[in-house]
Amino acid sequence: MNGPGPLGTFLQARRARLRPKDVGLRELGPRRRVAGLRREELAQLAGVSTSYYARLEQGLSRGASAEVLDAIARALLLDDHEREHLDRLADAARHAPRLRRPRPEKLADETRDLLRAVDSVPAIVLGRRTDVLAWNTLGHALLAGHLDPLGPDDPARRPNMSRSLFLDPHCRDLYANWTRKARAVVGNLRIAVGRHPDDALLAALIGELAMKSPEFVALWADHRVAPCDAASYELHHPVVGTVTVTQQTLSIARSPDQALIVCTTPAGSSSEEALALLRQMSDCRAPHANSVGMSNKPTRR
């Protein structure tokens, strides 16, 4: 392994975010020359030798036991999501996975039925790399109305929500607090990379964003780990104006790497009225299609 690898860089980043007072240590002695805790301080808190912990950060040791990882996680004050991420990185370091190009993701008929069932609210289905596998009419109109509505039907042309967020000015302007949304997306991508360290297409996406977006580079270097589960966002929609929605991520039982994202609004709110207006306008533009990405599918027999 060349360099510290994903496990080492994660440990370094989390250690750098801690201050002595965060873990009950007093700042004594000469002025600190490193950000966060020193390696020897972290090693002492975890009950391991400084040399062993240093080798772990440097990528020179791949066989950390569950007990050692538990101790390090406690010393770093990791939450449950970060602890799971640490375990995945440690497991990947033991097996040294090789990048491979996976097959294009497919949308199951049951998932397509589910998307049609929630047609009254904006909804999209994302794959493991945040590729849009399908969206309904309202989901397309709210989140990406400037893109081809049939794009998700072609694996070669599928929009990618992470790429759009960082590189598409329309999507950047959509979110009133773009930085907050970007941080959530990056935290979720961190989890995906930990779960699929051998996914060449995912690695290529990360590389592209790192080359083209300084904002992504800064957020990626932070090593925050958090799933995009539920959060409210104020949107500045180009057609219906300001809309506040709660974006909720629902797991799909038969396709665990895919997620259904639905956008809801409080009953009787101005945002609900704005979505109703957007739906009327979208239906007028596509009077014969109940949902984008599904209208051109053959009927099952």
CATH number at residue 239: 3.30.450.180
Inside any domain, residue 56: yes
Specify the pLDDT at position 129.
Answer: 94
Q: Do 220 and 78 have their domain in common?
A: no
pLDDT of residue 145: 93
pTM of the model: 0.76
What does the pLDDT look like over 138-193, one tens digit per residue? 999 999 999 999 999 999 899 999 999 999 999 999 999 999 999 999 999 999 98
Same domain, 178 and 275: yes
> Is residue 104 situated within a structural domain?
no
300 falls within a domain: no
Instruction: Give 22's DSSP letter.
Output: G
Residues 39 and 13: beta-carbon distance below 8 Å: no
pLDDT of residue 21: 80
Q: Tens digit of pLDDT for each residue in 265-279?
A: 999 999 999 999 999
Q: Indicate the number of domains in the chain.
A: 2
In angstroms, rounded to a whole number, what is the distance separating the alpha carbons of residues 31 and 123? 53
The list of the chain residues with pLDDT below 50 reads 1, 287-301
Domain span at 12: 5-95
Buried-exposed string 176-193: b where 16+ CB fall within 10 A, e elsewhere: eebeebbbbbbbbbbbbb
Same domain, 172 and 84: no
